[in-house]
Structure 1
Amino acid sequence: MASSTDRAMAEVEIKSLLVRERYYRDTSQWDKLRACYHPDVSKTSIEISWFQGDIDGFITGSQGMTTGGTGAVHTICPVDIHINGTKALSESTGSISIRFQHSSVEYDCVSFTRFISCLELIQGEWKLLSLRAIYDRDSITPVLPRELQDLPFVQDARQSYKCIGWLLSRKGFDIKQDLPGTDDPTMSEKLMKESFDWLNV
């Protein structure tokens, strides 16, 4: 029987894996996303609203969503980790947020979800076998309420932080307009490259 220390360490490793898996998906780090799952694709299973299949098919589908303009942002909060030898079951709460336009108005669709995953310990590393979702509730809200749709945004306001930029500028702060953001991937890539260059020197 594993010691309480070993069990606590396994829980930390699994929770870290679950958070990184969602982050890699949202930031298009496909190789790292694939490495979160069992190397034998036939042992993997994804069952969510828009996809049912193995991890390789999920990655291909996610790449298509990203290039097609359907970018999603996920949150995940691992809550319960059940461990039985080299097997584990995780229960997490989370959300999926997608911004879209309809009739020239921007909206956010947010789905609140429970994520259930099975994992297996392989050569000392936990790997995901499955990702399933239990859907709780969802909503669609306008990015700007009707009363605020005519806010005087600056002409070059960045889509990735125009609302917080507008608010802080009203408070007297000068807002830098060339910060990294998902609306300009080159700047985000530059920041990440500079950060890893610093780490690896």
Structure 2
Amino acid sequence: MNPIIANSITNSFTYEAYRHLVATYAQEGKTSGHTQTEAYINYTKLNESRMHRLDKTIEVLEDVKSKLAQIPKRYIWLVLAETWCGDAAQVLPVIHKMAEVNTNIDLKIVLRDEHEELMQLFLTNGTQSIPKLIIIDTEKEDVIADFGPRPQGAKQLILDYKKAHGVVDEAAKIELQKWYLANKGVEIQQEIMALLN
């Protein structure tokens, strides 16, 4: 296995530990990562309430559940995230619910800014976009696929907004959150399953 990936796995959080971190930071008025600003602290607070809601409401689709349950191989799902990241707050609870279906899937989370070498291996169009799910076949000790930072529908929404307005501003972020809310994690589940097939 790539030593950078192996090291990241060793120094990763479980989902529960990551959720505890988000909740603690939100409560203490802190944020993870290199950018320590009021805005990022507020995003962390917002993400805590989002994740709290999604942890309760997200449901794995029946067909996805049955396919996940039949996976015989062991996988590590390694996710790069930060507590302030709006997309991570929407995507991670879905990934967690999917991983819970089968004990062969071991979900691990690392903070992007503490794992820059790992992030460099999984850039999106040259950018350090998160969340990024890295799917590792533990038997082959090899990466078989990666997903993120957003499902296609959310990606398209941002591209269209940028084309129309020239920037991605707060209004764009609101539209994006509405998209996630309406989609209920369906596209995330479908795209990850397509990668596993």
What is the TM-score normalised by the length of structure 1? 0.24
Structure number with greater CO (CA < 8 Å, separation at least 6) is 2
Larger CA Rg, structure 1 vs 2: 1
**Greater share of residues in strand:** 1
What is the TM-score of this pair, normalised by structure 2?
A: 0.24
